[in-house]
């Protein structure tokens, strides 16, 4: 049953409430769905963008990333990949008067990047950097401004250097066509045209790639982008048609959607004083959480149905949003999510990706160090760096899911909380994952509610936990960005989960 905001019954399934009262009393987790053994390599990775700052060769940055156990990285990056010229290692784009605002913005930043890296950026150097982190890089081919012959020559050059990529993504976001750029829309008018073109690139490149290479093609975010399609605009018809018109062909192994929510666009309007309005903040939190719970699950389920047997690589995702300007150059009204929003939406996304065996890689955008809303690494004041809370959440999942553990999803059987703005989307306040290794077990549990809960550990694992720590951000309006500071908590027969927290509990033996 679904209970609407007015209390009327409207459907079947779990109870869904507009905002139920905070649960009280002991919390008991119950397994749901089928358990499974995960791959040896975790699926949790990150965009660590080499083009935006000096990264390769920086010992302090490398030392801060290595303990985070990121499974995947990506080169050369996102949109810049569409303009990467491998011979020079530079990014080449000349904007025209009729170019989109997005293309003009890219063209404006490339000269500075090229000056900073006068000798160019090279995949073989990035491969060594990623290997030092324990990560496997995903190489993004340039299918937009290069030719099949040039991309084949690049792969042959890498093969000769012993740096052939094992994972190749064919371009970046052709469905966006750089936000309505006339030249790019002509090149990528629809997905059948794009697939036919990309297939020629794959045919030219494959003879020079490792035998066990995996090829990934681009998919639109589909159902996840309902927030983007609420109004009329350039993206709506492309989003509606892109995946539907794609063919699940045997010449590629995976599809790559990008998941970005726009907290501001999820809301009907954004008042600049929202941080002082507890009710408005709670509604915004519910909308964002439901988007990354039911919305994400619907998107992944849709892709699994359209591309049966294919892997899903979510090579970019971030709850903050990553929307480009529209055709007039206007950015959607934006609400900058606070650390509480970022921690909990990120954690819910990580739980969501884990639910789907098809998702074999997902890269948070981005684990960089410069001052940007998308970057999650911050200076620690001593010459080093540390991740913000949502960055540490990615690391906790990467560590817990590596090494082929047995995974079970755990939930509390309780009413779900409905999105106040997008019908059919909801989330549960508590979500957990139990990961059993040969040498012990890890429980990751999220309490996305304003009250603490006492979790009965019961028979989740043998004996007393060896360690328990929590990230708790109970002040939803606190906008100050800080390095994550998890604190230890006592764990015996039960453990207290603070309000708005992500907790990990480890057993040894």
Which pLDDT score, from 0 to 100, does residue 266 have? Answer: 76
Six-digit token string for 96: 């025209």
**For residue 272, is pLDDT > 80?**
no
Would you place residue 219 in the very low, low, confident or very high pLDDT band (cuts 50, 70, 90)? very high
Distance between CA atoms of 99 and 181, rounded to whole angstroms? 5
pLDDT tens per residue across span 362-406:
999 999 999 888 899 999 999 999 999 999 999 999 999 999 999
Which pLDDT score, from 0 to 100, does residue 234 have? Answer: 55
Would you place residue 509 in the very low, low, confident or very high pLDDT band (cuts 50, 70, 90)? confident
Distance between CA atoms of 341 and 320, rounded to whole angstroms? 9
pLDDT tens per residue across span 441-454:
999 999 999 999 99
CB atoms within 10 A of CB 414: 16
Question: In this predicted model, which residue has the larger pLDDT, 4 or 168?
Answer: 168
Which pLDDT score, from 0 to 100, does residue 197 have? Answer: 98
By CB neighbour count within 10 A (0-12 exposed, 13-18 middle, 19+ buried), where does 401 fall? buried
Six-digit token string for 502: 């992500």
Six-digit token string for 23: 């649960």
Would you place residue 421 in the very low, low, confident or very high pLDDT band (cuts 50, 70, 90)? confident
Distance between CA atoms of 396 and 401, rounded to whole angstroms? 9
Tokens 């927290």 appear where? 501
Would you place residue 6 in the very low, low, confident or very high pLDDT band (cuts 50, 70, 90)? very low
Which pLDDT score, from 0 to 100, does residue 1 have? Answer: 23
Would you place residue 162 in the very low, low, confident or very high pLDDT band (cuts 50, 70, 90)? very high
Distance between CA atoms of 27 and 100, rounded to whole angstroms? 52
Distance between CA atoms of 485 and 279, rounded to whole angstroms? 28
pLDDT tens per residue across span 178-206:
888 999 999 999 999 999 999 999 999 99
By CB neighbour count within 10 A (0-12 exposed, 13-18 middle, 19+ buried), where does 179 fall? buried
Would you place residue 427 in the very low, low, confident or very high pLDDT band (cuts 50, 70, 90)? very high
Which pLDDT score, from 0 to 100, does residue 2 have? Answer: 26
pLDDT tens per residue across span 68-126:
999 999 999 999 999 999 999 999 999 999 999 889 999 999 999 999 999 999 999 99
Which pLDDT score, from 0 to 100, does residue 372 have? Answer: 85
Six-digit token string for 191: 């997905």
Longest CA–CA separation in the chain, Å: 68
Mean pLDDT within 61-70: 97
Average pLDDT value over all residues in the chain: 90
- Write the DSSP symbol of residue 51: T
Highest mean pLDDT among 158-162, 222-226, 417-421, 463-467: 158-162
pLDDT tens per residue across span 318-373:
998 875 444 444 445 567 889 999 999 999 999 999 999 999 999 999 999 998 88
Q: Residue 408: which residues within 8 A CB-CB, separation 6 or more?
A: 31, 33, 35, 433, 434, 436
Six-digit token string for 99: 């170019």
Pairing of strands 258-260, 254-256: unpaired
Dihedral (Cα; 17, 23, 29, 34), 10-degree rounding: 10
pLDDT tens per residue across span 8-53:
222 334 556 556 555 567 899 999 999 999 999 999 999 999 999 9
Percent of the residues in the chain that have a pLDDT greater than 70, as a whole number: 89
Which pLDDT score, from 0 to 100, does residue 293 have? Answer: 97
Q: Residue 270: which residues within 8 A CB-CB, separation 6 or more?
A: 264, 333, 334, 335
Which pLDDT score, from 0 to 100, does residue 274 have? Answer: 74
Tokens 């094992």 appear where? 166
Query: Can you say how many angstroms the Cα of residue 112 is from the centroid of all Cα atoms in its chain?
Result: 27
The model's pTM is 0.93
């Amino acid at each position: 049953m679904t209970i609407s905001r007015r209390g009327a019954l409207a459907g079947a399934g779990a109870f869904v409430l507009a905002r139920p009262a905070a649960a009280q009393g002991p919390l008991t987790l119950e397994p749901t769905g089928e358990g499974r053994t995960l791959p040896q390599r975790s699926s949790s990775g990150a965009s660590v963008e080499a083009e935006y700052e000096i990264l390769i060769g920086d010992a302090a940055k490398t030392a801060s990333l290595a303990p985070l156990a990121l499974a995947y990285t990506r080169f050369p990056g996102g949109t810049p990949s569409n303009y990467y010229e491998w011979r020079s290692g530079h990014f080449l784009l000349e904007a025209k008067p009729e170019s989109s605002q997005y293309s003009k913005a890219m063209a404006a930043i490339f000269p500075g990047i090229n000056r900073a890296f006068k000798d160019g950026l090279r995949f073989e150097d990035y491969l060594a950097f990623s290997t030092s982190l324990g990560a496997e890089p995903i190489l993004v081919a340039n299918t937009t401004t290069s030719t099949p012959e040039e991309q084949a020559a690049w792969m042959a050059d890498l093969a000769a250097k012993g740096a052939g990529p094992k994972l190749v993504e064919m371009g970046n976001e052709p469905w966006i066509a750089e936000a309505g750029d006339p030249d790019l829309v002509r090149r990528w008018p629809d997905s059948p045209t794009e697939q036919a073109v990309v297939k020629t690139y794959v045919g030219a490149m494959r003879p020079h790639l490792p035998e066990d290479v995996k090829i990934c093609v681009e998919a639109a975010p589909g159902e996840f982008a309902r927030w983007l399609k609420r109004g009329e605009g350039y993206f709506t018809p492309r989003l509606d048609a892109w995946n539907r018109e794609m063919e699940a062909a045997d010449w590629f192994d995976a599809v790559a959607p990008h998941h970005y929510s726009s907290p501001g666009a999820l809301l009907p309007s954004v008042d600049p004083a929202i941080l002082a309005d507890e009710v408005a903040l709670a509604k915004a939190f519910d909308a964002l959480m439901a988007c990354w719970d039911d919305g994400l699950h619907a998107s992944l389920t849709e892709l699994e149905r359209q591309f049966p047997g294919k892997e899903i690589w979510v090579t970019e995702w971030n709850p903050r949003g990553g929307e480009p300007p529209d055709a007039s150059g206007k950015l959607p009204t934006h609400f900058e999510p606070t650390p509480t929003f970022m921690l909990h939406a990120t954690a819910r996304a990580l739980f969501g990706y884990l639910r789907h065996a098809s998702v074999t890689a997902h890269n948070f955008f981005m684990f960089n160090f410069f001052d940007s809303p998308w970057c999650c690494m911050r200076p620690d004041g001593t010459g080093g760096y540390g991740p913000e809370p949502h960055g540490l959440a990615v690391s906790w999942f990467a560590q817990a899911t590596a090494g082929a553990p047995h995974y079970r999803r755990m939930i509390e059987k309780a009413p779900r909380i409905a999105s106040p703005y997008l019908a059919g989307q909801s989330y549960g306040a508590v979500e957990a994952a139990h990961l059993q290794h040969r040498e012990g077990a890890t429980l990751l549990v999220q309490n996305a509610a304003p009250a603490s809960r006492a979790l009965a550990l019961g028979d989740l694992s043998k004996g007393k936990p060896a360690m328990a720590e929590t990230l708790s951000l109970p002040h939803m309006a606190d906008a100050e960005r800080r390095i994550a500071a998890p604190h230890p908590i006592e764990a015996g027969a039960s453990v207290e989960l603070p309000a708005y927290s992500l907790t990990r509990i480890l057993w040894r033996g």
